[in-house]
Every structure is written in C-alpha cells, then in structure tokens.
C-alpha cells in the first residue's frame, strides 16, 4: 500500500513545507459528464460492432476491416477502459499543497502550479462528502468534439483526459475537502 505523505515528501524542494496531502476517492467513478459520454459510447460501440465489423468481415481483411477493429477498441475503451484508467489514477496519484505550489504526483511524473493562483474552481458534491478543485486553463470548451476548444477541460476526470492534450491541474473527488480548501485559502492570502 502506498503512503501518500511519503510520496509527496519525496517531491519537496529545498525549504518547501508540506501543508496538506490527500488522494482522490477511487470509489467515485462517475461524473456529470458521463450523462453524455456513456450514451455516446454505447452508440459508438453498437454501430461499430453491429454494422461496420460484420459488413467488412465478409469481404475479407482490408483497410476498412482494420479501421473497424480500431474503432471497436476505441469504443470499448470509452465504455469500460476509461473507468479502469480513472480508478488506477485515483489509487496511484497523490495531491499535495505546499507553501509554494500545488502538485499531483505518482512518483514518476508530477504536474504542478503556483499555490497563490486564485483562478481555481472549487466544487462540492451535494452531500459535501467530496470536493474537487480545478485551476483554470484559460480556454473555452466549445467545439472540442471537432478539434477546437479545450478538450482537456471537457474530458477532465473521465478517464479520457490526457488523450486530447495535457491533463489539467486538478484535485478530483477529495474526501477531505475542508482541510484541502483551508490549506489553499491559508496560502493564497499570504
């Protein structure tokens, strides 16, 4: 079992002080974005498996058959694989707030931003059991399906994030939200 505080402490720079350490709740897999991603994934996978693959298998191996299989794998990932990716990230990534920065690390890679940034968005679940904090990226999310806009923000915390550009700096589904927000507020007023 991983010790989040030890992993975060390994990433500290000289003179930096750790104020808060936590992780995302790996049991929380669904978000509001799944309201359109799940039906879209079912439609995608259904069309590929019932129309494209059977239609091209009769003609023998071809470019279209290979493309159909690739589309089926993409559909399978959107249906099931992204939840496995998301759960793995939630179990292996550690969130930390220091007196200089906030960072997310898994021991191999680290994403970070300045802790004094005030362009953060804090969201609570209805029952206030989980808190998510996301720092703004500065881009609009319009049109991400067609290659414009900010796809990182649209697919954030879905298991598809990272496929359309760098992942956003965000702490997702933190069960210790009051302590997290308190640490962020305490540092940002300095």
pLDDT of residue 165: 75
CB 95 within 8 A of CB 102: yes
How is residue 170 written in tokens?
Answer: 């965000």
DSSP-based three-state secondary structure for 52: helix
Q: What percent of the chain has pLDDT over 70?
A: 85
Which residue stretches of the chain have pLDDT < 50?
140-149
Strands (E), 29-150: 94-98, 101-105, 110-114, 120-124, 131-135
Q: What is the pTM of this model?
A: 0.83
pLDDT of residue 184: 94
Q: What percent of the chain has pLDDT over 90?
A: 57
pLDDT of residue 174: 97
CB 139 within 8 A of CB 150: yes
Return the residue matching tokens 């496995």: 84
pLDDT of residue 190: 57
Each residue's pLDDT tens digit, 68-109: 788 889 999 999 999 999 999 999 999 999 999 999 999 999
Q: In this structure, what are the phi and psi dihedrals at residue 168, rounded to the nearest 5 degrees? A: -75, 160
């Amino acid at each position: 079992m991983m010790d989040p505080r030890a992993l975060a402490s390994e990433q500290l720079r000289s003179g930096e002080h750790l104020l808060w350490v936590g992780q995302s709740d790996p049991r929380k897999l669904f978000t509001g974005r799944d309201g359109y991603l799940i039906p879209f994934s079912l439609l995608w996978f259904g069309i590929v498996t019932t129309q494209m693959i059977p239609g091209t298998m009769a003609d023998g191996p071809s470019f279209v058959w290979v493309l159909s299989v690739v589309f089926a794998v993409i559909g399978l990932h959107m249906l099931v694989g992204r939840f496995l990716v998301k759960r793995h990230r939630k179990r292996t990534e550690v969130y930390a707030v220091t007196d200089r920065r906030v960072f997310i690390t898994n021991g191999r890679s680290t994403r970070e931003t300045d802790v004094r940034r005030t362009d953060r968005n804090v969201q609570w679940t209805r029952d206030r059991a989980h808190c998510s904090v996301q720092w703004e990226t500065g881009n609009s999310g319009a049109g991400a399906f067609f290659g414009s806009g900010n796809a990182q923000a649209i697919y954030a915390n879905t298991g598809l994030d990272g496929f359309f550009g760098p992942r956003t700096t965000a702490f997702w589904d933190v069960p210790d939200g009051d302590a997290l927000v308190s640490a962020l507020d305490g540092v940002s007023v300095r």
